Structure 1
Amino acid sequence: MMNLVRLSTVCIALMAAPLVTAAGVEASANAGMEKVEVKRLDEVLAKPNIDWAKYTSVSITPLDMSTTTIKAPSGTHKRDIPELTEKIQAPFKDLYLKAFTREFSEDGLLAEAGSKKSGTLRIDSKILELAPTYIPDSTMNASGRNRAYTQTAGKIQMQFDIYDAATGEHLATVTDKREATKMWRENNSVQNRSQINQIMGTWARIFRTHLDDLGEK
């Protein structure tokens, strides 16, 4: 009887507790931020009255794909939607890190990974969604008829969270979706890697040249 009473008490407590959704967690993380217009980026939320000029270096953390979803093209069979294995994730993570390292190294702005030095920004990034233009049909693969041509490999949606590396204060969140330059070509691993590289390079250049715009309204 005692166990039933305890279980009842727990259930009542859970029913009375506020429901925390993913949207609620995100809203909490972005509390106190305001929308800022930054050239070439879809959505930017930043804390007001931040002296961005005091930041003279940037630390880049590895790309996170632990919560990435795949938005398959219309008509794709569920059996053909691939799992995001480490092998599939590898080129995204590799090309992201290379692009941002290269871009910030050119101006001497790159700080060591894990740096908590004053005046350093930390950029944490994650892919929210991959929307490939084409996913091979497994029945076609079995027959060897799997060559396809598309304008682009697809779109990548990213979220970038910017922190003060020394204090851990969350300063800004950037969400952006883009695709490579449209041009008809064979859809294969070599071409897809080239397009991922182009997209990551574009983001890296935008961040290097427009970080100061976060302070503008």
Structure 2
Amino acid sequence: MKRLQPTLNVLLAAAVLCGLGACQTTKQSPIDELSTQEGLERVEVKGVDAVYRRPGANLSPYNKLLVRPVYIEFSKNWKPEQDSALYQMNEPDRERIRQGLADMFAEVMVNELQTKGGYQLVTESAADVLEVRPAIVNLYINAPDVSMQTAGRVRTYTADAGEMTLVVELRDSVTGTLLSRAFDRRNADNMSWQWTNSVTNSAEAKRIITSWADTLRNALDASRGKPS
């Protein structure tokens, strides 16, 4: 996976340690503190747990997007092998789930931002290109029911609830200037997943990622005065 820059590593560690929701109960969380040190201010965005924006930042000059591959990290507490003596989750299994979720994320970004939103997705930096650096952390999948087909190495299980947190940064693709940062956590209260072989079969996970992409598209549209 692509190596994360030191600042994003610190952010992901903070998100993992305080679980975002717990952070919001304190006067100033580690995430708030770091974002403030970087010159960002917290703003309210409907449907997103925490959003920080650089004062005076303007997204209107950007009509193209450079969406980096999403970084995915499981919760340190996710140990599905403890849910069933019949199932052993090994690193290849985890990597298949990561890759499935990453493929889904990329597919949704293309559909929501380029196909529906009209924003060109590119692979090179330029003055009119906004860089999007996404990560999904605290990925936790409850797997109470497990079935295995040993001969074909086909493993099928269901997850009736789970949790994951999105961390995304918007930067000027040329200068690297941080313009905005967002955190959004989805947990068992609003997730009901069915997982079969890989995360790509999860309609609920796709719905959540689509919601995140839609929020980003609306923010870009609003910067241009386009109706939502």
**Shorter-normalised TM-score: what interval?**
0.5 to 0.7
**Equivalent AA in structure 2 for residue 129 of structure 1:** N
Alignment match, 1:130? 139
Q: Is the 8 A contact 1:73 1:133 kept in 2?
A: no
The CA deviation at 1:27 is: 1.9
The answer for unaligned runs of 5 or more in structure 2 is: 1-9, 15-29, 150-154, 224-228
Alignment match, 1:109? 119
Q: Which is greater in Rg?
A: 1
The CA deviation at 1:36 is: 1.0
The answer for unaligned runs of 5 or more in structure 1 is: 1-20
Pick closer, same or farther for the CA change 1:158–1:30 going to 2, 3 Å.
farther
Q: Per the alignment, in what secondary structure is the counterpart of residue 205 of structure 1?
A: helix
CA distance in 2, matches of 1:52, 1:201: 21
Q: Is the 8 A contact 1:159 1:173 kept in 2?
A: yes
Alignment match, 1:69? 75
The CA deviation at 1:206 is: 1.4
Q: Which has the higher contact order (CA 8 A, sep 6+)?
A: 1
**1:174-196 Cα distance to aligned partner (Å, 9 max, x none):** 1111259656x865347853222
Does 1:208 find its partner at 2:208?
no
**Aligned residue pairs: how many?**
186
The CA deviation at 1:81 is: 6.0
Cα RMSD between the aligned structures? 3.8
Of 80, 100, 104, which aligns to 1:95? 104
- 158-167 or 104-113, larger mean C-alpha shift: 104-113
Aligned-pair identity (%): 21
**1:63-105 Cα distance to aligned partner (Å, 9 max, x none):** 112x443443899469956547321211110000010111111
Pick closer, same or farther for the CA change 1:182–1:77 going to 2, 3 Å.
closer
The CA deviation at 1:117 is: 1.4
Q: TM-score, normalised by structure 1?
A: 0.67
